[in-house]
Amino acid sequence: MLVTVTDAADKLGVNHQFVRKLIKSGELPAIHLNARAVRVRSEDLDAWIAGRESRGVA
């Protein structure tokens, strides 16, 4: 399932700018549908969260 940057931010409890920073840095994979539309696979988002939890970063 694909989620918007805003939905990903809501799930993480952060603002959309932080999610865009993660995408730009390559830390969070994303799919660019066009120049403006970006989506994140929910599996990638869950994996990013799990990686943070396994490192003890809240």
pLDDT digits (tens, 9 = 90+) for 11-26: 999 999 999 999 999 9
Phi (first) and psi of residue 12, to 5 degrees: -85, -15
pTM (two decimals): 0.87
d(CA 56, CA 36): 34
Q: Is the pLDDT of residue 53 over 90?
A: no
pLDDT digits (tens, 9 = 90+) for 28-45: 999 999 999 999 999 999
- Contact between 45 and 9 under an 8 Å Cβ cutoff? The reply is no
Q: What per-residue confidence (pLDDT) applies to 32?
A: 97
